[in-house]
Structure 1
Amino acid sequence: MKDVRRLLYVVVCAVFFIGLYILSDFYAGEAVGKYAGEISSGNSKLTSNEKVTMDGLSLENQIGSYVSTVSRQEIRLSFLGDITFEGDQLERYYDSSTESFDFTNSFKYITKYLKASNFVAADFEAVMAGPDEDYENVFDQYGTAGFLYNVPEVAAENMKAAGISLLQTANEHAGDFGIDGVKSTLSYLDSVGIKAAGTQKSANDKRYTIASVSSIKIGFVAYSNNLNMELDEDNAYAVNSLDNYDENKIKQMCNDVRAARRDGAEFVVAMVYAGEVYNTEPDDSQKSLFNSLFEAGADIVIGTEPYAMQPIEVRDLTDTDGTAKKGIAIYSLGTFLGSETYGSAGIDNDIGAILDVVVNKEGNKKAKISGIRLTPTCITYTEDDVFVLPAAEVKNNKDSFSDVADETVMERINAACDEIIPGLLEETGLQGSYSGNTYVVNF
């Protein structure tokens, strides 16, 4: 019986090694065929002194090499303007029976657009400092009293659920509740999985954030030109501030752009909270700052603060290897969500946009911008809600929105789609057109 087992064992081993030999011979033949031209010229790995291994000739590794060389991926980076939660919003989304807030309805019409993107970044113009213990009622523990913006923590969950990936935390209200407000805001955002750029918990923290988006590393550098409340000298590190276009602070921001690149960022986004409120054109200081950021290596520069849309620019840039590439600038994305309404002065501060930057990457080549998309948005009120409407969708499907879009709202919707969004490209020489509910511009 033992002899039979030994014989069976020998037969199995023989079959295994014979199969291995045949398989190896097959792959060797395939490799010789593939490199035949190189063998005749003496350049093949098979005729060189370089060691050839089965790993190098394996079908799996050859396929991997092929994919890395010719594969193509496209990602969509999306940017929003200012997000605030002010008195009118707190009143509508406060439940006195549970003493709690829920801002979910603010995003109910726009979430599908955000979730269609690979990565969404916005400016969060407030802090989450926790309930103010000076007030007994929960409703009074948050709000904008004294022009200090303290938002209920649940807003972080609501923004994450809506599809927001990163928030710029360096803006006018970043220091409203001191260093404790900065740190608690970062903690609340981190707890729900939202990244932040522009503020730090420690002086040793990097002043930029790197996120991996579909295997492409994107660096985010965010600064505010001014603060409503200055931090004391010991805690000044916590908020990236330009101190009213201070030359040294601009150099620091530019150095952070370079540092993010050195740290592996294939793309660098600079986010700037700067500009005159309600201006629809950038001033000379904004333009100079944007130029400096592009010279430092930024690929995309996003502006907020003016609460109104300002023009887009498409820059012709040169990459570090000397190849040509495109850069995108928008001086202000306006307000995405807040209590802004169309005022008597005729400022379009209720109109914003989702700016999509389309990035393509082929094989091992560097990623490049191939186009932009603009989805116009409009802040809209009802007795119970304050929310963001996708303007072109409403225009194209008026009957579906008849309960929230009366004649006045439709006037704003039409202005957003037909005037404001196309007007952002007037100086670029580029032409765009609507595809569905989005204004498409290809380079």
Structure 2
Amino acid sequence: MIFLTAEARRRRGTEGRFSAPLRLCGKKLPKTMFLCFKMTILHKIQRSSMRQANHIWQVLLLFCTFTLSAQTDTLRLIFAGDIMGHAPQITSAQTGKDQYDYTPCFKYVKPILEQADIAIGNLELTLPGKPPYTGYPMFRSPDALATALKKAGFDLLVTANNHSNDAHALGVTHTIDALRKEAFLQTGTFKNERDRSTLYPLMIYKNGFKIALLNYTYDTNGVPTEAPTVVNLIDNEQMAADLAEARARKPHFIIVVMHWGLEYQLTENAVQREQAKFLIKNGADMVIGSHPHVVQPIRMERVSMPDGQEKEALVVYSLGNFISNQQQPNTDGGILFQVDLLKNKGNPKVRLGEHGIIPIWRYIHKNAAGKSTYYALPVSRVERNQKLVPGMPAASQNAMLKYTEGLRKRLKYNELKI
């Protein structure tokens, strides 16, 4: 439906009648198109009756409808780093006997995640569905964490990582069940080979886009995968076959989420670069990394394709931690990576729109009784409003600023205004 704004209707009959913005379904028309319409209408009004001018106006608006039908589809993705479940986090979330609430952890980042069409995180733990709940080295968290992540705005969780088997087969299967109960999209681990063949690659349909998403891990810390469960491991032959299957389904865009690299290393290694280029050469359009628990560089990698053409793809080597209790240098934070995918209606070619980072810092607040609460803080919002987080001591603010200053100097990447 096309309509004039109330301001435009009030100005009917004057030259200023068309100075208010014309809207299509509530969205402003492009300025150049609007000015062209305005000048044409004004010229016709001078040469014809008002009735004729109105008729011309209606014809031009009809033309506008067809013109705008070719406008751009947009899909906003936000990727979060490692979602950890250390023992102090489990203790802090406990509200009673076998009762847990992680909702407060994400209250400050929730408004950002909710702006995404698809918010994606790396769930680096298991949800076994019953005690004992434990942290490192065998991560087993209560289902309440899944509930809180869903409330926070996450839509999709990848589960192939080195802790996938921490609760053995039960951990794999119940994690999947708990995520399905909360209506999550999930991939990387499967109850059995039949589920993998049916559900993988994960196909996502949103805003006119068809996206294929794949997920792999380098290992499961030596804990064997118990039949019939499946954990996707990094294997070139298998990944090439999976990417071929993804291409056969003709998606608009292919994303691969990799659990790779070396912990606590601030730069990607040669193996990561080699694997990234292998994935791109086999069809990946974007590669997102996790596992090092620190943020690593974001690069546009270029490869030569079999047909001789060059292909570029964005690689985020490591997002760092989203929330954890890790204390090693540079592990107290990470980034959200936000990217807009753009596609003209009727044209399957996808291009990158605005994209950049949103620094996140893990804040541990202790109340008067000594009970801790873990928060994932969007740094720039706290920088603008130091009263955003009540009771945040100066020492914590200084630690946050020190972490973020180092991150910005190392990464030197576009930081989005939020």
The residue number in structure 2 matching 1:411 is 398
Whether 1:399 aligns to 2:387 is yes
| Cα gap change, 1:326 to 1:290, in 2 (>3 Å) | closer
For the Cα contact (< 8 Å) 1:375–1:390, is it kept in 2? yes
Q: Hey, what does 1:142 align to over in structure 2? A: 133
Question: Is 1:212 matched up with 2:205?
Answer: yes
CA distance in 1, matches of 2:353, 2:306: 18
Contact 2:357-2:416 within 8 A present in 1 as well? no
Residues 109-128 of structure 1: pairs in structure 2 closer than 5 A:
109-128=108-127
Pairing 1:310-329 to 2, within 5 Å after superposition: 310-316=296-302, 326-329=312-315
C-alpha separation in 1, matches of 2:115 and 2:294: 25
Aligned pair in 2 of structure 1 residues 201, 83: CA closer, same or farther (>3 Å)?
same
1:196–1:229 Cα change, 3 Å: farther
**TM-score by structure 2 length?**
0.77
CA distance in 2, matches of 1:63, 1:168: 43
Question: Residue 106 of structure 2 corresponds to which residue in structure 1?
Answer: 107
Query: 1:422 deviation in Å?
Result: 5.1
Report the alpha carbon displacement of residue 212 of structure 1 after superposing the two structures with TM.
1.3
Distance 1:411 1:363 in 2: 47
Equivalent of residue 238 in structure 1, options 230, 233, 237: 230
Q: Which runs of 5+ in 2 are unaligned?
A: 1-61, 367-371
- Distance in 2 of aligned mates of 1:176 and 1:435: 36
> Match for residue 323 of structure 2?
337
Tell me the alpha carbon deviations over residues 264-308 of structure 1, each in whole angstroms, 9 at most, x when there is no partner: 321111111111111111111111111111111111111111111
3-state SS, counterpart of residue 152 of structure 1: coil
2:180 matched to which residue of 1? 190
8 Å Cα contact 1:307-1:332 kept in structure 2: yes
CA deviations on 1:8-38 (whole Å, 9 max, x unpaired) are: xxxxxxxxxxxxxxxxxxxxxxxxxxxxxxx
Matching of residues 249-260 of structure 1 within 5 Å: 249-260=235-246
Q: Which sits farther off after the overlay, 415-424 or 356-365? A: 415-424
Deviation at 1:254, TM superposition (A): 2.7
Q: State the partner residue of 2:13.
A: none
C-alpha contact 2:263 2:291 (8 A) present in aligned 1: yes
Q: How does 1:12-411 map to 2 (within 5 A)?
A: 70-96=70-96, 99-132=98-131, 141-144=132-135, 147-204=137-194, 205-206=196-197, 207-232=200-225, 234-235=227-228, 238-242=230-234, 249-316=235-302, 326-341=312-327, 343=328, 347-365=329-347, 366-383=349-366, 384-401=372-389, 403-404=391-392, 406-411=393-398
Give the letter aligned to residue 73 of structure 1: D
Q: Is the 8 A contact 2:88 2:325 kept in 1?
A: yes
Determine the C-alpha separation between the residues in 2 that align with 1:414 and 1:337. Answer: 17
Instruction: Give identity over the alignment, percent.
Output: 24
Displacement after TM superposition at 1:214 (Å) = 1.3
Q: Is the 8 A contact 1:82 1:334 kept in 2?
A: yes
Please tell me whether residue 436 in structure 1 is matched to residue 417 in structure 2.
yes
| Cα 1:309–1:119 shift into 2, 3 Å | same
Residue-by-residue CA offset, 1:243-276 (whole Å, 9 max, x unaligned): xxxxxx1221132123122223211111111111
Alignment-mate amino acid for residue 327 of structure 1? A
SS in 1 for 2:387: helix
What amino acid does structure 2 have at the position aligned with 1:348? N
Deviation (angstroms), 1:155: 1.1
Name the stretch that deviates more: 174-183 or 303-312: 174-183
Which has the higher Rg, Structure 1 or Structure 2? Answer: 1
Closer, same or farther in 2 for the Cα pair 1:72/1:127, shift >3 Å?
Answer: same
CA gap 1:199/1:232 in 2 versus in 1, 3 angstroms: closer
TM superposition shift of 1:178: 2.0
Q: Partner amino acid for 2:396?
A: V
DSSP-derived class of the 2:125 partner:
coil
Please report the RMSD computed on the Cα atoms of aligned residues, expressed in angstroms: 2.6
Hey, what's the Cα distance between the residues in 2 that align with 1:99 and 1:238? Answer: 29
Q: Which structure 1 residue ranges, 5 or more long, are not aligned? A: 1-60, 133-140, 243-248, 426-430, 438-443
CA distance in 2: counterparts of 1:328 and 1:111, whole angstroms: 26
Give the direction of change, closer, same or farther, for the CA distance of 1:393–1:261 in structure 2 (3 Å limit): same
Q: Deviations over 1:173-217 (max 9, x none)?
A: 111222222111111101111111111122122342111121201
